[in-house]
Amino acid sequence: MAARPRLAVWKFASCDGCQLSLLDCEDELLQVAGEIEIANFREASSAVVDGPYDLSLVEGSVTTPEDARRIQEVRAQSRRLVTIGACATAGGIQALRNFGDVEEFRRAVYARPEFIATLATSTAIRDHVPVDFELRGCPINKAQLLEVISAYLHHRRPTVPTGSVCAECKRRGAVCVVVAHGAPCLGPVTQSGCGAICPAYRRGCYGCYGPQDTPNTAAWTAHLETLGLAPDAIRRVYRTFNAGAPAFRAAGDAAVPEGG
């Protein structure tokens, strides 16, 4: 039997939720373990097999000089590198630091700030090394994760649609919260993948999967205003888990007029 491909799972600045999606694949996990060698996955086992690895899944963003160095090592040992989750693909919620003064946070929060080595920004893995595929979501969808693993096992492109959440919202038969209730929702500018969970429970979409492939944020910002949202509220809507994604970053910046 040919050697099973080796999988490694890496953690950077993150909450571990996306890695846990892999452990959460209870029914499929045995099959995963049968098809691939889980060579390095500290969340699951402390036994570590040295690289190189056929597929690396990278969770988390780069927030420290040490991580900026470590991601280079990970890339060098990985034939394919797939980033998973909003942290790895857009910098995560911690990218809110990109809009603040990290030096000030450090002094305010830590008793001995000189021990804290941190960067001024939280950035996506793509900003540091070439990435083969980005799997979005906060957290990622486990069915999409299995699809990505399966695609790389069989040398094909993953089927991960990049259009809007609205498509999933309509497919599941949810009633649009914008049209029926005048509620703000990021669905039209957000990539699908979650299954439109929030609209199905009468909440607007929070944008967990980042911008869809053709995000018309200018038109959507204008509409959010007509729904009664103030400019700073609109800015906050764009600045959550994917605040660092370029389209949402630009939309958040543009939401408040210069000097506002």
Partner 1 sequence: MIEPGSSWVFPRAEFPSLLAGLERAGYRVVGPTVRDGAIVYGTIRSVGDLPEGWTDRQEAGTYRLAKRDDGALFGYNVGPHSWKKYLFPPREQLFTLRRDGSASFEVTPPPDDEPPLAFLGIRACEIAAMRIQDRVFVGGGTPDAGYARRARSRLVVAVQCGQAGGTCFCVSMGTGPAVRAGYDLSLTELIEPGRHDFLVQVGTPEGAGVLADVPMRPATPADLSAGEARVARAAQSMGRTMDTTGVHEVLLRNLESPVWEDVGRRCLACTNCTLACPTCFCHSTEEVPDLSAERVERWRRWDSCFNLSFSELHNGSVRATVPARYRQWLTHKLATWFDQFGSSGCVGCGRCVTWCPVGIDLTAEVRAIRAADARAVPPEGGPAP
The residues that touch ligand SF4, with contacts defined as CB under 6 A, are 165-166, 169, 174, 176-178, 185, 187-188, 196, 199, 204-205
Q: How far is the CB of 130 from ligand SF4 (least distance, A)?
A: 32
Out of 81, 189, 245, 247, name the contact with partner 1 by CB under 8 A. 189
Q: Which residue lies nearer to partner 1 by CB, 2 or 111?
A: 2
Residue 72 touches which of ligand SF4, partner 1, none (CB < 5 to 8 A by kind)? none
Q: How far is the CB of 15 from partner 1 (least distance, A)?
A: 26
Q: Which of residues 32-61 bind partner 1 (CB under 8 A)?
A: 32, 34-35
Please state, in angstroms and as integers, the Cα–Cα distance from residue 94 to each residue in 23, 119, 201, 202, following that order.
24, 12, 27, 27
Give the x/- contact pattern for partner 1 in 109-148, rule: CB under 8 A.
-------------------------------------xx-
* Alpha carbon distance 206, 184 (integer Å): 9
Q: How far is the CB of 8 from partner 1 (least distance, A)?
A: 17
The answer to whether 188 contacts partner 1 (rule: CB under 8 A) is yes
Out of 23, 102, 167, 197, name the contact with partner 1 by CB under 8 A. 167
Question: Which one of the spans 24-32, 49-57, 59-67, 68-76 is the region binding partner 1 (CB under 8 A)?
Answer: 24-32
Rounded to the nearest angstrom, the gap between the alpha carbon of residue 186 and the centroid of all alpha carbons in its chain is 16
- Point out which residues bind partner 1 (CB under 8 A): 28, 31-32, 34-35, 146-147, 149-150, 153-154, 159, 161-164, 166-167, 170-176, 178-182, 185, 187-189, 202, 212-214, 216, 218-220, 223
